[in-house]
């Protein structure tokens, strides 16, 4: 499948993923590139950082900088609005998963 189609489709999944982790602990870019990679999402800094910035602009994430081993690292945590959206996304994701797996198990796919 074309890379762009895959990216478009899974961008929302990625954002939910980021919210999920940022709601639990402070996250940072390279850590999330690794984490998303573990889940099969091939994202580089050129994709991930703009997404993090955009989500911060939308008020879903907030960030702060900390110097780690002599380098400035930006950490992100979920805001209250981000956590609310995550709860909603969780409900919808479950509904979607239940529905598409039902078809799968019925053997129509």
Q: Which is nearer to Zn ion, 30 or 103 (CB)?
A: 30
Give the nearer residue to Zn ion in terms of CB position, either 35 or 56: 35
Q: How far is the CB of 67 from Zn ion (least distance, A)?
A: 26
Helices 80-106 & 3-24 angle (0-180, nearest 10):
130
User: What is the closest distance, in whole angstroms, from the C-beta atom of residue 73 to Zn ion in the complex?
Assistant: 19
Find the helix or strand (DSSP H, E) in which 30 lies.
helix 29-38
Contact track, Zn ion, 22-51, x by CB under 5 A = -------------x----------------
Identity of the residue, 97 or 103, whose beta carbon is nearer to Zn ion in the bound complex: 97
In whole angstroms, the minimum distance from the beta carbon of 94 to Zn ion comes to 16
Quick one: how far is CA 107 from the chain centroid? 30
Q: What is the number of the residue whose Cβ is closest to Zn ion?
A: 35
Q: Which one-letter DSSP state was computed for residue 27?
A: B
Structural tokens at position 85: 């959206």
Distance of alpha carbon 102 from alpha carbon 80, whole angstroms: 33
- For 25, which DSSP code? S
Give the count of residues interacting with Zn ion (CB under 5 A). 1
Interface residues toward Zn ion, by CB under 5 A: 35
């Amino acid at each position: 499948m074309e890379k762009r189609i895959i990216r478009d489709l899974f961008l929302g999944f990625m954002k939910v993923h980021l919210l999920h982790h940022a709601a639990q602990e402070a996250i940072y870019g390279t850590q999330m590139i690794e984490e998303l990679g573990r889940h099969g999402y091939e994202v580089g800094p050129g994709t991930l950082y703009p997404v993090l910035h955009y989500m911060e602009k939308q008020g879903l994430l907030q960030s702060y900088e900390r110097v780690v081993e002599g380098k400035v690292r930006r950490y992100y945590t979920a805001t209250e609005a981000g956590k609310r959206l995550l709860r909603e996304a969780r409900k919808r994701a479950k509904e979607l998963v239940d529905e598409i797996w039902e078809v799968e198990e019925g053997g129509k796919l």
